[in-house]
A and B are shown apart, each in its own frame.
Chain A
Amino acid sequence: MNTAKMLKKMSRSLWAFHINAGSCNACDIEILATLTPRYDAERFGIKLVGTPRHADILLVTGTLTEKIRENVLRVYHQVPDPKLVVVVGGCGSTKGVFQESYAMAGPVDTCIPVDVYIPGCPPRPEAIIYGVVKAWLKIESLEKDNAAAS
């Protein structure tokens, strides 16, 4: 089975592991909020798991500080393939408001490959869900590319 097909199967059941890479907590609580009854991300088979080994999708918030960099990298490698990385929030995407800080190693994509960026500071829970929709779309287009190639 090729990777794209696998991803397609995966997309109905995305288990997320959340890393706080030096965020201000706003994005983190909005991620948690997506699980609450109002938004209920479990509808899509999304759930937060407690260990990267179970994860399919890494939700990274925050700017990636120097000190956490190693840990983020380690967690990334602990996630079994295939995996997706979604950066939630502006500061993870671009360092946001913390430009010029000496403590930053970020943004996140300087450390691990990122698939979807969700701007906003913080994004609404629904914006995060929309980010997931984008991730599904990416998976689908990957599959199409693969089908076309073969």
Chain B
Amino acid sequence: MIEHLPILAITVPLFAAFLLPIIEKAHFRARNAAALLAILSVNVMVVLLALRLSREGAPLVYVLGAQSPAQILPQGLDFPIRIMLKIDGFSIFMALTSAVVVLVSYVYSMKYVPEDPRKNYYTILLMLMLVGMLGLEFTNDLFNFFVFLEILSISSSALVSYSYNRKFSPYAGYKYMMISAVATSFLLIGIAFFYSQYGSFNIEYLHGVIRFTLLDKIALIFMVVPLAMKAGAIPMHMWVPDAYSEAPAPVTAALVSASQASLYGVFRLSFSLFGNPVSDVTLNYHTLGWIIIVLGVLSMFVGVTMALVQHDVKRLMAYHAISQTGYMLLGVGVGVVVYMDPGGAAYAAFGRDAMMGGIFHIMNHAFYKGLLFLTSGVMVLRFGTRDLNKMMGMAHRDTFTTLCFIAGALAISGVPPFNGFASKILIYESVYRFSPILAIIAMFVSVLTLASFLKVFYGAFLGPRNEDIIVIDEPLPATVTAAMGVFCFLVLAMGLFPGEVLKYLVEPAVAGLVPGR
């Protein structure tokens, strides 16, 4: 059983998704319970996998259809033909993030998304999102990667337009769908280039044999650019604000995680597929790193400046998501640049820290941004609008939400003792060694972030109590509060004990991404 966990983690939600309509026939509560159970079990499985990974040290490989799941090479062949899952530190790190976020989002949406005939689809789509994320994080097979990305995209775009009665939701969903479709088709072309040349989809195998032909380089562009686009990095970020702001709040939280799954794709492909520091015929790490850095800094800056002028609370947060993605790119980019440093002294000194900061930030961001989006859901619930100018005085009534918002806002601004600080300080201190100016920019962007969240805080939470503008005056459902509470707890806990997270999750993740030198 335990050795089948990798595939189970993907199939359980997948089958749950198909079973749910049947269960729903009995009672919608039964469906809710089943869905919760499924997602919970995925969480448990991921945790178990993580434990096993840390025990064994080496990546877990799971081959579908072989006599034993660990049998990689079929007899008589020197390259793998079977579909293979490979779980290293980075995969499990991402899987943990995705699983937790989807769990919390689901709990939040149990009551938040009103119970109507379409709720069924909602649950199913959320399940499929989980499947997509976990799948592409676990797979070691390019084609599977594409398939899971498609699952993720389709389910996400459907969810974005879930509130179809709003004017822009279908539009946003459509936009997201189009972008995803374009992105995945390019990805597919890239994959085709590989298959045509090397006859395999297996990432690990390809990594060994890649020759960096012109075609490979084109493939690189065809594969990395669409993924960066789906991750919401500048300059292909235009879908983010629409999709994030139109989706229901819990979906947005999950969407953040979905974007990060794409970011995972970027990193995975550039490192595990293209990156080959040992051979001479390799990708120019220096250039790649700088591209990532520039993208990161641009994302940071453009995101935050756009956010500053927003009045729509969710759009504002969406732009911050872009901006925060910049931090991850910056951290990882710096790590990449110095990775090729002769002798690896610089990498040892701070490149690894930068990388760790960037990757740690992924998880942190998923949690605090999730938290923020969940609180924005409460705002929308209360005021029936996303326009900050039409909100006021929420702190008078929703104390817990306010606290959660404060925690999230401080975390995203990188204020101690919240988790944003833990990763940002790693980024600052290491990036600073690389280039002080970048560190100053990063710090300044944080201050701007803070300023813009102060604006939200002032606009929505403070001001006089005004009962007239409240649309829904009921106390928050316990599930909503609980969901925010979980994130809030995580945000604080990871900020207070960053050492443990770094040691048990982030370091293996970095090790998984770049083989140690």
Is chain B in direct contact with chain A in the complex (CB below 8 A)? Answer: no
Which residues of B approach A to under 8 Å, CB–CB? none
